[in-house]
Structure 1
Amino acid sequence: MLDISRDIQSLSNFKRNTYSAIAQMKQTGEPIILTVNGKAEVVVQDAKSYQQLLEKIEKLEAVAGIKQGLAEIKSGKTRPVAEFMQEMQQKHGISS
């Protein structure tokens, strides 16, 4: 969880203390939000945590796709596979 007192810092401070900031990110797994003129501008994250975030997003997208497919089945937006195969064979000139 983001700790405002620890995980938000100025870009200038980050530049002065880059190695300690990297060590902090590796230890906590949390990103650091960098500010410029008092406004949040950039989020910096260690590579391992970023990879984990990407993997979580991929799983969530897969779950969302499965839910959508199940909803389409439930609402009757499907057709028999034999019908689909026949249509594709005719459309692309594939012999059975």
Structure 2
Amino acid sequence: MRYSAQIKPISYLKAHAAEVLGELREKREPMVITQNGEAKAVIQDVATFEQTQETLALLKLLALASQDIAAGKTRRARAIVDELRSKAAAR
């Protein structure tokens, strides 16, 4: 994804806020906002932000699982199933 077409100065954002929000929602691509010629912020629509957060959470879970595997913190699936069944039978 190229961001070069999605770079706008803060003055553009101020003057066209509603249009920018519509464009963000429609294109679902982030927009880089500059101030004095320097990139200062990135804005995106809420749906894309939420999707990104969910993706990051899943990646974090995978990283934690990989660390557990590397540390030998694993159990056989059969042992876990047997444990759950015995707990359910005790109820």
With the shorter chain as reference, the TM-score category is 0.7 to 0.9
Question: Aligned pair 1:43/2:42, yes or no?
Answer: yes
Count of matched residue positions in the alignment of Structure 1 and Structure 2: 75
TM-score, normalisation: structure 1: 0.71
Check the 8 A contact 2:29/2:44 in 1, yes or no: yes
Deviations 1:13-63 (A, max 9, x none): 011111111111111111111000000001111111111110000000000
**Residues 16-31 of structure 1: pairs in structure 2 closer than 5 A:** 16-31=15-30
| 2-structure distance, mates of 1:2, 1:63 | 28
Structure 2: gaps (5+ residues): 76-91
| 2-structure distance, mates of 1:25, 1:37 | 23
| 2-structure distance, mates of 1:55, 1:14 | 28
Structure 1: gaps (5+ residues): 81-96
Give the superposed CA RMSD: 1.8
| 2-structure distance, mates of 1:59, 1:25 | 25
User: What is the deviation of 1:3?
Assistant: 3.4
- Which has the higher Rg, Structure 1 or Structure 2? 1
Identity of aligned residues (%): 26
Partner amino acid for 1:36?
Q
TM-score, normalisation: structure 2: 0.75
| 1-structure distance, mates of 2:61, 2:28 | 24
Secondary structure of the residue that 1:64 maps to in structure 2?
Answer: helix
Check the 8 A contact 1:2/1:30 in 2, yes or no: no
Partner amino acid for 2:64?
G
